[in-house]
Structure 1
Amino acid sequence: MKYITLIESFYPSLTKSEKKVADYIIDQKDQVLYQSLSDMANHIQVGEATIVRFCYKLGFEGVQDLKFSISREDDLFKNQTYDNYIDTIESNIQKVVHETKLVLDPQSLTQVIDCLHQCEQVYLFGSGASGLATLEAESRLLRIGKITKSVIDSHYQLMHAALCTAKTCVIAISLSGSTIETVEAAQIAKENGAKVIVLTNYIQSPFAKIADLILLTAGKENPLDGGSLVAKISQLYVIDLICTGYALKQKKKAQNAKELTARATLGRVVSPIKRNKKDDI
């Protein structure tokens, strides 16, 4: 493979720390695809700057460029055929839900539910595919009586963050935990006194470092799988847990909200077309 040949070509000229990076990438290439820069640094026991410098030395534009090269050459569809892809996707969905359950901290989940119960204002921040997850969370919470606002535009995230108070709860969603605009908005919200809750894959991510509460997801993505359904299912599973826990905490209010919202939308369906007797002639 080209990237391995490239690493081997540069290997003699690498520093001791850079050789550790090279060895790790060759031995753990499948893991590297799904690790953040900070996770890689922790596993290899080198500084993040060393990994970035290693990538530049090999001619890559950065860590993401290296990952893209690895994922492009290690085609993840090489063992997938038209005959087995249905079973493969089913297996991946079941696996990601199970793995998310394993990494989820029940105590943190309870604290998140308590936070939603106590706060007066809830904003949901997310960009790209994670923005879709915030829209789903807004819909679910609204139906059980908790009015929230999903904000997926980066400028609006900053403006909403600037108006946060100690009575605000911000739920920020990002698989990587490194989306610059959303991290910045969450930081501003925290500085203004808001409680920041983060849903992310990476405990060492910039998002996680500013969070008051963290709920880990397990939806892995490589650079070629951006926005994959399996990754979103991990987020939606955690959102479902939050909403269900919130509803169970105040059953009467949630049930009343469900009935009111259901009744409000009950008639919003297309009526069956009435047949004209002449049509039967």
Structure 2
Amino acid sequence: MGDPKAVAAQIRMKLPSLTPLEGKVASDILARKDIDEATPLREVAEKSGVSDAMVVKVAKKLGFAGFREFRQGLVDYNRSDTAALHSEISLQDSSSEIVQKVFRTAMQALEETFAILDLAAFERAVEYLHRAKQRDFYGLGGSAQIARDVAHKFLRIGVRASVFDDAHMMMMSAALLGPDDVVVAFSHSGTTAAVIEAVELARKNGARIIAVTNYAESPLAGLVDVVLCSTAQNAPLLGENATARIAQLNLLDALFVAIVQRDRATADQNLDRTMRAVQSKRRS
């Protein structure tokens, strides 16, 4: 699978495409830290309570040639510095340990998201957003907060974007879009019904669609022109969504900077104008 840092992320991204049993097997094996080059297929299968054939099937559905390549990918990942960043938080942890674990978990999400980033998709997203007549951002809950953060950055440089975090408003937006417009759909799971329905309508009307999600094979990802994936390991207290948002914010920051570079002179001019406009609101 190339970069060892990307192995766990690429496995997690494919989990929605597996059956519940296959997903359990994949998650069980991914969570193990004791697998090495000599670990036999039979032992792995027995630990997961399935047949040898099921483990091989899961390995192939995850994109590996077979069990041996799957095993080697996990070994390489577990030996990487990135894998060592994550530690579960326990009730016995001191404040120092809590801070360290939270920060290191965020660092792992950034490292893994960078490792799986599709630069060709990233560049297409930059081109679509730069050339768009109208840019509409869709997201609910935590995803809406990311959409607002990005829209705020864009406004500072004179790139107009609208944020819709209500199912009805998203559908109204989608109904008015056309081939010169772009939707950025934010959904960690890629299964948010309100977002998917609005994306379907926007796509029907000819708009380009960019998805920001954690799962490359989710229902949302299957509908769009460009998929930008974040990734994060699930943690009982922090949750997968919260950690992934940190990676998504950084991913969108990179997108913002790339768009600025398309017309740096205009961006700098608009940034100066918007900064001066709010200067009077600050107390000296």
User: Structure 1-normalised TM-score?
Assistant: 0.70
Letter in 2 for 1:92: T
Letter in 1 for 2:215: Y
Compute the displacement of 1:79 (Å).
Answer: 7.4
Rounded Cα–Cα distance in structure 1 between residues aligned with 2:163 and 2:244: 19
Q: What does residue 81 of structure 1 align with?
A: 93
Conserved in 2, the CA contact under 8 Å of 1:129 and 1:227?
A: no
Q: What does residue 137 of structure 2 align with?
A: 124
Conserved in 1, the CA contact under 8 Å of 2:210 and 2:226?
A: yes
Rounded Cα–Cα distance in structure 2 between residues aligned with 1:212 and 1:196: 5
Rounded Cα–Cα distance in structure 2 between residues aligned with 1:213 and 1:128: 22
Q: What does residue 239 of structure 1 align with?
A: 252
Rounded Cα–Cα distance in structure 1 between residues aligned with 2:22 and 2:276: 62
Q: What does residue 159 of structure 2 align with?
A: 146
Q: What does residue 178 of structure 1 align with?
A: 191
Conserved in 1, the CA contact under 8 Å of 2:211 and 2:226?
A: yes
1:267 aligns with 2:280: yes
Rounded Cα–Cα distance in structure 2 between residues aligned with 1:97 and 1:20: 27
Compute the displacement of 1:100 (Å).
Answer: 1.0
Q: Which runs of 5+ in 1 are unaligned?
A: 1-16, 31-41, 47-74, 272-281
Q: What does residue 215 of structure 2 align with?
A: 202
Q: 1:241 to 1:24 in 2, by over 3 A?
A: closer
1:256 aligns with 2:231: no
SS at match of 1:214: strand
Q: What does residue 136 of structure 1 align with?
A: 149
The superposition leaves residues 207-253 of structure 1 with CA deviations (integer Å, 9 ceiling, x where unpaired) of 10001011111134467645854221111011101100000111011
Rounded Cα–Cα distance in structure 1 between residues aligned with 2:225 and 2:120: 13
Compute the displacement of 1:117 (Å).
Answer: 1.5
User: What does 1:18-37 align with in structure 2 at a 5 Å threshold?
Assistant: 27-28=29-30
| RMSD, aligned CA | 2.9
- Greater C-alpha Rg: 1
Q: 1:84 to 1:145 in 2, by over 3 A?
A: same
The percent identity for this pair of structures is 25
Q: 1:192 to 1:226 in 2, by over 3 A?
A: farther
Rounded Cα–Cα distance in structure 2 between residues aligned with 1:117 and 1:88: 38
Rounded Cα–Cα distance in structure 1 between residues aligned with 2:110 and 2:182: 26
Conserved in 1, the CA contact under 8 Å of 2:185 and 2:211?
A: yes
Rounded Cα–Cα distance in structure 2 between residues aligned with 1:221 and 1:23: 16
Q: 1:268 to 1:27 in 2, by over 3 A?
A: same
Conserved in 2, the CA contact under 8 Å of 1:21 and 1:44?
A: no
Q: What does residue 83 of structure 2 align with?
A: none
| Equivalent residue pairs, number | 218
Q: Which runs of 5+ in 2 are unaligned?
A: 1-18, 33-56, 62-86
SS at match of 1:255: helix
Q: 1:256 to 1:43 in 2, by over 3 A?
A: farther
Conserved in 1, the CA contact under 8 Å of 2:188 and 2:214?
A: yes
The superposition leaves residues 2-23 of structure 1 with CA deviations (integer Å, 9 ceiling, x where unpaired) of xxxxxxxxxxxxxxx9876765
Q: 1:119 to 1:192 in 2, by over 3 A?
A: same
